[in-house]
Structures are given as C-alpha cells and as structure tokens.
Structure 1
Amino acid sequence: MDNIDLQVMRQVAQWHADGHGVVMATITRTWGSAPRPPGSIVAIRDDGLITGSVSGGCIEDDLIDKARQGVLAEGRPRVVRYGIDADAAHRFGLPCGGLIELVLEPVAAHTQMPVLLERLQRGERVRRVLDIASGAVTLETAGDTDELQLTDTTLTTHLGPHWRLVIIGAGQMTQYLAEMSRALDYQVVVCDPREEYADIFAVDGVTLRREMPDDLLQALKIDGHTAVIALTHDPKLDDLALMEALASSAFYVGAIGSRANQAKRRERLKEHFGMTDAQLDRLHGPVGLKNGARTPPEIAISILAELTAVRYGYRIDAPVAVRAQAVMEVGCVS
C-alpha cells in the first residue's frame, strides 16, 4: 500500500509522461474549520480528471471547470484563495468566513516528477522547494523540522511518510502491519537480527535492519513522531527495544503478548534495566485495541487503530464483554 503523497505523485507523473497538461494545487494556509490541512495536494488533468483532495469537493469542482476551460494553468505558479466572504464560504463548503489558500503549480520538466517519485517509492521523506517565479523545483532530504513555508519567492513542502514506525521482528504479522502502515503515512523500519526471519522478509518501501534493536533505536534518534512495536516474543530482543523506546519521546510503545507475559515483562524491565513505573505505564500491552482480533491481519488492524487514536489524542476505553447467553436472556425477558 502507498501513502497519499505517493499515490498522487505517481498519478501526476503518469499523466505528464502521457503528454497531458497537469496542475497541482497545494493548501498553504487555512482560516476557520477547513476540511483538509495545509500541505494537502490535489492534481487536475487538462481534461478534468483529478487525484487527491483539498476540500469536501466543491473547490475541486471549481478547479475541474477551470481546467476544462483551459484557464487553470498560466505557465507559472500562483496563489489563489477560496471562501473569502460568507457567500463564497457557503458555495465552497467552508464554514462562514472560512478561507483556504492554495498554490497552483503547472507540472513541467523542471518539476522533477520522476526523481521525486523514485525517492518517494523508496519510502523517503523529501523536502520540496518550489520557486514561485520560475516553477523550478529543488528536492532535498527532509530534516528534523517539516513545517510548510510559503514566502514571496518559494513554497517549501514535505512529502512522503509523516510518521515513523519501528517494528521489532520480521515475522508474519509484521508483513501485514508493515504493508498497512505505509498507507497510513508511516515510514516503516523493521529490525530483526535473526537470519531465519530476516532472510525471507520483503515488503516494498520498507527498510530492513539487522542489528540489535537497542543499537538501532539509538542510531535512529527516536522522537515524538515515532512509534515502536515489539513483535518477536523473544525477551532478548523485545526487552532491549522497549528499554530504549520507553526512555525516549516515542509517541507510542507497544509489545505483543498475553497479560501474564506483559506482567513478567514489566518485572524484567524494572529489575534488570531500572525502568520506572512512569516509563512502564507508557507501554501498550497487549498491543492494539481489544476487539477480539485473532489472525495476523486482524491484529495488524487493531494495532493501527490504537496507533491512530493515540496520534490524535483519543482515549478508547476497554470493551465490555457480553456473553451471547446473557444477550439472549435479556431478549427473552423483554
């Protein structure tokens, strides 16, 4: 699976290679409750075909009309705004007084779409600098800060995975979790020094590392945009990863295993590695939402559902188990 940026850029590159005129529109600023955040991209082909989104659809409809009329592309990038007054806000599906600012950018040879696409397909995060006057694009490696910036002369955006997921263990469940994670905007790194697992692991766009987990996490410099999940069932590997992850600013740390195994793990981490209760309380284990998942793909879905909730600051309470017999009894009484 591909993340949203890669899907859009792959389509844009194909349309341009086929000889179509293409204009990309990037949200640069919003006021009010805009449907999509800054950095969101939509691309419109000269015959009105579209990929990506910047609103609930009304702004896209206006861009499509202009593309079909041949007035959307003007040769170089320009800034446009939608929803400046209440009437326009209502027309374009924005809250009263809302505003969305876009940069419209005709795609050309100096847009460097093939190079950008190649780097995104490798799972890289790329800083893209657009020269407003000429339309020329410079591609750089993304750094620690990734804020969108629009000045009088340039538009700087960041494409590729916005979040990082480090998975310890290259088993069957990791295959599903890695593939699904890429669609949710994660740069995925899988760590497994065991030859019997690492030698047969292969997921497009996912980096495989074969050093010990603690060495890898130290090298990656785990930050608040990183999640770490231990899936090996091997304490020698999982505990080393959790020791580093729980002491870092990772936004999510999880480990597979039963509640009994989680209790034993907490004891080991506290006794042998000196982890504090506060650090151990950050551990999500058993990993994932408790939704009855049993198969590897079901468990992967439950993990990603919990990751998403934590990312957006939502707390999901534990489910209440209801026996089928009890439900039947209630039905009989009623």
Structure 2
Amino acid sequence: MDSVDLNVLRSVLAWRRAGQRVVLYSVVQTWGSAPRPPGAMLALRGDGVVIGSVSGGCIEDDLIARLQDGRLPEDGPPVQLVTYGVTRDEAARFGLPCGGTLRLTEERVGDPAWVAELLARCEAHEIVARELDLTTGEVTLSGASKTDTLTFDGERLRAIYGPRWRLLLIGAGQLSRYVAEMARLLDFEVLICDPRKEFVYGWEEQHGRFVPGMPDEAVLNIQTDERTAIVALTHDPRLDDMALLTALNSRAFYIGALGSRVNSQKRRENLATLGLAPQAIERLHGPIGLHIGSHTPAEIALSLMAEIVAIKNGVDLLQKKPLQATVS
C-alpha cells in the first residue's frame, strides 16, 4: 500500500481515542479510468473533517454530503458498499474520466485496537494483511509478503499494509541535503549516517534522522529490508565502500554510489578485490540517477530520486544514464 495511507490510519486512531465518530472508506474495485487505485483510503470524522483521498475531489464532496444530509446514520450497518460512476451522467458528475467506475467500502470504525496494532506492526517493518468481513465488520490481522496484493470477493476485503519506504544516505554533504528534502516530500523515511562531525552542522530534524556509527554499522543497525534504499554520497571510498560492502549483500531494493563512469568502474574493481561476489557488485547503481542532463546538486538529487522511485514502482529504466555520462 501507499505509506501515505498510513497517515489516514494514524488519524483514525487519534480520532477514535478522542471519542470522535469515524467512517473509513477504502477503494476496493475500479473499472475503466479511476483517479485512485484499489487500496486508497479516506477517513471521514463525525464533524465532516476528512483525511486521505479516493478520487480527484468530487466524490469526497459527496461523502461529506452523505454525512451532513443524514444518508450516513450512526446506527447503520457496520460496513456497506458504495459505488460511483455506474452511469455516464454520474461519471461526469463525479469527475470520473472515460466513464470510470469505482466501488468503496464504507466502514464504521468502532474499537480502534486493530488500527493501533496494524500501525505498530508497520513501524516494526512488518507487512500486514487486514481482512474485513463485510457482513459483521470484524477485522483480523495477519502476516503478509511483499508479493501479496489487495483482494475483494464481495464478502471479504483483504488489504495489504507495509512500512514506509526508507532511504539511508551515507554522507551529510550538500547533495545529501537536496536528496533528503526531495525524499521527504516523496514520503520516504530519511536516515543519514556520516561519522565526520564537520558535516553534521545545519541539519534540521525534519531532514531526517541520524544513525550513529560507521557506515557499515548503520546498514546493519537499521535492519535493512526490501523497502530500503541506500545511497553513498561522500565521494570518499573509505566511507562509501565500507557501506557498499555491507549494503550489496543486504535486501535493499536500491543501492547506489555517487561517481563518474570511470570512478564507478574503479569502485566495482575495488569491491571485487575486497571479496564481494560478482552478482552482488552487479546490484550497484553507478553512475546514479536517470539521464536528464543534471549538473547542479538539485538536478542530481532529482535524477537520483526519479531512479529510486522508478525501481520502487517496478518501472523499466528507459532513461538510465548512458555510459559516457558522468556525475561528479
């Protein structure tokens, strides 16, 4: 699932603990063109406040109107299905393109214990399946794998929730600051490791969390998993290669290192002499980033994050830098 939707559940938990009425909407099916994919979530508070999104905006307006005009009574069924866009007129009314249709579960949230448990398990970097029985409203949680997807058979909804994507930056220099800011806007959890105290000055808390120790220790200490990207940006092989030796044998989905084509080749040769297996070295992205003609730190950061997001989303890297390109 999109980690942005975890913020919806955090609000659901806070609102219910404060005694607020909460209705949770989840996209379960779409036909044709739809603004949001299955699994997208929106929470509606008893006073009409919303968080999250299930469309481009028009459906959200109607959901609020359902609450305000009495179509959403408190004593209604625990879960029901709501469908938008069945007719061409309704699709046009709700801004669904090309006659698109989407179906939502409308779930009255009672005891929020399952929300708290789900969030805690995601914080522990578990992947969790939530099963919702549409007849009773009962929710059960179980472990899931990264290959699991949302399923819906009309009676039970099984949705998959995972931890936030993470980005570990080796080095706290100027380029890392641009990368951290862009990654944060893309909802990555940003971690930074740099044992050089001279580079720590000026970092603010919102840029990310510092991981103490040497780079190889940091890779191990964060318990690197399939939702973690690691990028070495110090330009110092004593630090970068230290991180890469550990990272390239980890489960990280992306591992990259700053450097020109020539320097990247030298790094690969050095890693081989240090005993790293060829299949591990092949995982290294270097030069980093997509080919957008980047020169400034901000452009290089954009190029890097575009590549990381493309790999995260399973997109082929058609714009990968050609061999003659350099990044310095």
Kindly provide the CA deviation profile for residues 118-141 of structure 1, in whole angstroms up to 9, marking residues without a partner as x. 555666554323232332333445
SS at 1:238's partner residue? helix
Aligned-residue offset at 1:104: 1.1
SS at 1:44's partner residue? strand
Could you tell me the TM-score, scaled by structure 2's length?
A: 0.72
Structure 2 equivalent of residue 293 of structure 1? 296
AA in 2 matched with 1:96: C
2:215 and 2:240 in contact (8 A); partners too: no
Q: 2:150 aligns with which of 144, 148, 151?
A: 148
Structure 2 equivalent of residue 6 of structure 1? 6
Cα distance in structure 2, aligned partners of 1:202 and 1:279: 34
Structure 1 equivalent of residue 90 of structure 2? 88
Q: 2:237 aligns with which of 222, 235, 238?
A: 235
Kindly provide the CA deviation profile for residues 165-214 of structure 1, in whole angstroms up to 9, marking residues without a partner as x. 4544577866775675355354666677x5979x9999699695868749
AA in 1 matched with 2:48: G
Aligned-residue offset at 1:277: 10
Structure 1 equivalent of residue 308 of structure 2? 307
Aligned-residue offset at 1:42: 1.0
Q: CA RMSD in A?
A: 4.4
Aligned-residue offset at 1:54: 0.9
Cα distance in structure 1, aligned partners of 2:277 and 2:9: 44
2:249 and 2:280 in contact (8 A); partners too: no
Answer yes or no: is 1:109 the counterpart of 2:141.
no
Instruction: Give the count of matched residue pairs.
Output: 315
Aligned counterparts, 1:258-297, within 5 A = 258=260, 260-270=262-272, 272-273=274-275, 280=282, 283-286=285-288, 291-294=294-297
* Structure 2: gaps (5+ residues): 323-328
Distance 1:14 1:176, change over 3 A: farther
Larger deviation, residues 88-97 vs 263-272: 263-272
Cα distance in structure 2, aligned partners of 1:145 and 1:190: 29
Aligned-residue offset at 1:150: 2.2
AA in 1 matched with 2:33: S
AA in 1 matched with 2:49: L
Larger deviation, residues 83-92 vs 248-257: 248-257
* Structure 1: gaps (5+ residues): 320-334
Distance 1:181 1:157, change over 3 A: farther
Cα distance in structure 2, aligned partners of 1:151 and 1:4: 25
Aligned counterparts, 1:238-249, within 5 A = 238-239=240-241, 241-242=243-244
1:162 and 1:186 in contact (8 A); partners too: yes
Aligned-residue offset at 1:285: 1.9
1:59 and 1:92 in contact (8 A); partners too: yes
Kindly provide the CA deviation profile for residues 62-110 of structure 1, in whole angstroms up to 9, marking residues without a partner as x. 1111011232352401222221232222222223342212111112115
Structure 2 equivalent of residue 322 of structure 1? none
Identity over the aligned pairs, expressed in percent? 43
Could you tell me the TM-score, scaled by structure 1's length?
A: 0.71
Answer yes or no: is 1:62 the counterpart of 2:62.
yes
Kindly provide the CA deviation profile for residues 14-57 of structure 1, in whole angstroms up to 9, marking residues without a partner as x. 33333332211111121212111111101122332211111111
Aligned counterparts, 1:1-334, within 5 A = 3-72=3-72, 74-110=76-112, 112-120=114-122, 125-161=127-163, 163-168=165-170, 177=179, 181=183, 184-186=186-188, 208=211, 213=216, 223=226, 226-236=228-238, 238-239=240-241, 241-242=243-244, 251-258=253-260, 260-270=262-272, 272-273=274-275, 280=282, 283-286=285-288, 291-294=294-297, 300-310=301-311, 311=313, 312-313=315-316, 315-316=318-319
Cα distance in structure 2, aligned partners of 1:281 and 1:4: 28
Kindly provide the CA deviation profile for residues 234-266 of structure 1, in whole angstroms up to 9, marking residues without a partner as x. 435533554576678865331123555334213
